[in-house]
């Protein structure tokens, strides 16, 4: 008999964090549909006031939420504190984004009346998010959806339900009804049922390309249901002519290993000019050797914690062995640091001589290196992927960066900054297998409301001037 409960555990210790029953999709959708008309009819200012109250509730439990995320994900406490700050900051960004992206417009003409542009909410929105960023990622979807007038059913990752539950409780304490925003506990089966429910009007998804593609296929015959997909990336960081080798190495390490490589924007591939490869790789390896890998509350604080679970750690270990067996040259081996829990050392492998490099997102602290001779080859390698989330150029001058920006396919392109450097005041999304041209962050409002064009006159006034017989 299949279990009807979800249990989450601390990656760092294996201790149980949370336990709860799997939710009823049909009931959640029905409740959301009943709640939607009244929520959508509220003045826009009321909904904005409620999400601002939510930000204040998060401030009130700031340390508790950061601690819970650290326990449930294994990430260092300093990092999860930054995530909670991000949740708070996203509220005002969503308010500004909605005002800018869905502003009302009116074009008046004395004889022809008015042409108006307004926006309507879709209805019931499903928000499905991963274990990475279990508070900031769902907040980035939920807040804009509520501001626009949608009701929301939020299914967090089954690995991080406790963090999702505390986030939702903050909304409820702020005055958002428990029917306007519901948390649905469950796994893949509940996610599939939610996505395909006739009562759901839109799906806001962040997660792996594998799951995102499955959602897209399931809904391909239903163009009336909005689908916004934020997926991962096989992201390149290109290091070119620069005398600042140490700084370049720091940017590479930050891009590849922050968050134990479990960010969708993490660098997966380092592409480096041959003439500077040895010097750069020596610096990158020495810096990676110094990184502290540890539990969230260790002292001194670790740079990175474990990956999310043992299955992920096993998969990354197998991937490293595959690369090694097919022509990869190890620069820093992937080491399992704990037999019982998923702690991995940061790993670096030169895959320049591999004939067929797998174009997959290896979601962890595993960096592949490709050495090239010229900038044209560097751009070609950067684009040698079906993904297109983010890319970074380190070094070079304005001419190289302009060429890099123009020719590299990605939704985020940085210069002398880590791959994951991003302002929430800008859109975040990618092309190819990284998304379906519906970026989030500042552009999230685009997926939460649809434009309605109107031609309006306060009294009927019409005539037919051509093509009538004489009366």
Average pLDDT over residues 38-56: 98
Q: In the structure, what pLDDT confidence band is assigned to residue 3 with cuts at 50, 70 and 90?
A: low
Q: In the structure, what pLDDT confidence band is assigned to residue 429 with cuts at 50, 70 and 90?
A: very high
pLDDT at 288 over 60: yes
Say what the pLDDT of residue 22 is: 97
Q: Is 230 a catalytic residue?
A: yes
Tell whether the torsion through CA atoms of 145, 147, 151 and 152 is positive or negative. Answer: positive
Please give the structure tokens belonging to residue 278.
């040895």
Encode pLDDT of 185-234 as tens digits: 999 999 999 999 999 999 999 999 999 999 999 999 999 999 999 999 99
Give me the residue label for tokens 């990354």: 316
CB 216 within 8 A of CB 196: no
113 sits in the region (left: phi over 0; alpha: psi -120 to 50; else beta) called left
pLDDT at 121 over 70: yes
pLDDT at 109 over 80: no
Q: Is 170 a catalytic residue?
A: no
pLDDT at 408 over 80: yes
358 sits in the region (left: phi over 0; alpha: psi -120 to 50; else beta) called beta
Please give the structure tokens belonging to residue 14.
């294996």
Domains and CATH numbers, the chain: 5-231+435-456 (3.40.605.10), 235-415 (3.40.309.10)
Tell whether the torsion through CA atoms of 24, 27, 33 and 38 is positive or negative. Answer: negative
- Residues 341, 330: Cα–Cα separation, whole Å: 24
Torsion on CA atoms 76, 78, 83, 86, rounded to nearest 10: -170
Encode pLDDT of 131-148 as tens digits: 999 999 999 999 999 999
The phi, psi pair for 21, rounded to 5°, reads: -80, 145
pLDDT > 90: percent of the chain: 92
Q: In the structure, what pLDDT confidence band is assigned to residue 110 with cuts at 50, 70 and 90?
A: low
pLDDT > 70: percent of the chain: 99
Please give the structure tokens belonging to residue 302.
């670790």
DSSP class of residue 23?
P
- Residues 258, 374: Cα–Cα separation, whole Å: 29
Q: In the structure, what pLDDT confidence band is assigned to residue 463 with cuts at 50, 70 and 90?
A: confident
Which among 367, 375, 366, 369 has a CA at the least distance from the CA of 353? 369
Report strand pairing: 113-121 vs 105-109.
antiparallel
Say what the pLDDT of residue 111 is: 66
Tell whether the torsion through CA atoms of 107, 108, 114 and 120 is positive or negative. Answer: positive
Find the DSSP H helices in 273-374. Answer: 274-290, 310-325
- Residues 81, 88: Cα–Cα separation, whole Å: 11
Give me the residue label for tokens 């480096």: 272
Which among 169, 166, 111, 121 has a CA at the least distance from the CA of 144? 121
Q: In the structure, what pLDDT confidence band is assigned to residue 461 with cuts at 50, 70 and 90?
A: confident
Identify the active-site residue in 160, 264, 390, 448.
Answer: 264
Find the DSSP H helices in 1-76. Answer: 25-41, 44-60, 62-73
Which among 311, 292, 295 has a CA at the least distance from the CA of 303? 292
**Mean pLDDT of all residues in the chain?**
96
CB 382 within 8 A of CB 348: no
Encode pLDDT of 27-43 as tens digits: 999 999 999 999 999 99
Please give the structure tokens belonging to residue 440.
């989030």
CB atoms within 10 A of CB 185: 21
Q: Assess whether the previous peptide bond of 26 is cis (omega < 30° from 0).
A: no
Say what the pLDDT of residue 459 is: 85
Identify the active-site residue in 230, 283, 361, 400.
Answer: 230
Say what the pLDDT of residue 1 is: 39
Tell whether the torsion through CA atoms of 96, 428, 227 and 153 is positive or negative. Answer: negative
Average pLDDT over residues 391-396: 98
Encode pLDDT of 369-382 as tens digits: 999 999 999 999 99
Say what the pLDDT of residue 424 is: 79
């Amino acid at each position: 008999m299949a279990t009807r409960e979800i249990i989450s555990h601390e990656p760092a210790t294996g201790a149980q964090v949370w336990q709860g029953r799997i939710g009823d999709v049909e009931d959640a959708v029905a409740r959301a549909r009943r709640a939607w008309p009244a929520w959508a009819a509220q003045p826009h200012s009321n909904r904005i006031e409620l999400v601002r109250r939510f930000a204040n509730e998060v401030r009130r439990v700031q340390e508790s939420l950061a601690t819970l995320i650290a326990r449930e994900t294994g990430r260092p406490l300093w990092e999860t504190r930054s995530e909670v700050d991000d949740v708070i900051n996203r509220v005002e960004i969503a308010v500004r984004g909605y005002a800018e992206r869905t502003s009302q417009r009116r074009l008046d003409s004395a004889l022809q009346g008015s042409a108006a542009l307004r926006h309507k909410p879709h209805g019931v929105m499903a928000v499905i998010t991963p274990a990475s960023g279990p508070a900031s990622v769902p907040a980035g979807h939920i807040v804009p959806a509520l501001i626009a007038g949608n009701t929301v059913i939020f299914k967090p990752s089954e690995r991080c339900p406790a963090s999702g539950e505390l986030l939702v409780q903050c909304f409820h304490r702020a005055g958002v009804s428990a029917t306007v925003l519901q948390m649905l506990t469950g796994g893949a089966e509940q996610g599939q049922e939610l996505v395909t429910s006739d009562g759901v009007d839109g799906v806001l998804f962040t997660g792996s390309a594998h799951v995102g593609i499955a959602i897209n296929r399931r809904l391909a015959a239903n163009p009336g249901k909005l689908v916004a997909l934020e997926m991962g990336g096989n992201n390149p960081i290109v290091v070119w002519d620069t005398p600042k080798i140490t700084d370049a190495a720091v940017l590479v390490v930050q891009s590849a290993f922050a968050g134990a490589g479990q960010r969708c924007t993490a660098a997966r591939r380092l592409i480096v000019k041959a003439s500077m490869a040895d010097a750069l790789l020596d610096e990158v390896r020495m810096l990676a050797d110094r990184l502290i890998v540890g539990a969230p509350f260790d002292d001194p604080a670790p740079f990175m914690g474990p990956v999310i679970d043992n299955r992920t750690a096993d998969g990354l270990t197998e991937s490293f062995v595959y690369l090694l067996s097919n022509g990869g040259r190890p620069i820093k081996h992937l080491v399992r640091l704990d037999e019982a829990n998923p702690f991995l050392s940061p790993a670096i492998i030169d895959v320049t001589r591999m004939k067929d490099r797998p174009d997959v997102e290896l979601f962890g602290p595993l960096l592949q290196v490709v050495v090239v001779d010229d900038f044209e080859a560097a751009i070609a390698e950067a684009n040698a992927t079906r993904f297109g989330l983010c890319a970074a150029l380190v070094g070079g001058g304005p001419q190289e960066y302009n060429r890099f920006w123009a020719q590299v396919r990605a939704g985020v392109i940085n210069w002398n900054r880590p791959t994951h450097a991003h302002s929430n005041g800008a859109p975040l999304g990618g092309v190819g297998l990284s998304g379906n041209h519906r970026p989030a962050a500042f552009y999230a409002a685009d997926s939460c409301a649809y434009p309605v064009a109107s031609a309006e006159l306060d009294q009927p006034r019409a005539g037919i001037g051509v093509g009538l017989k004489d009366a």
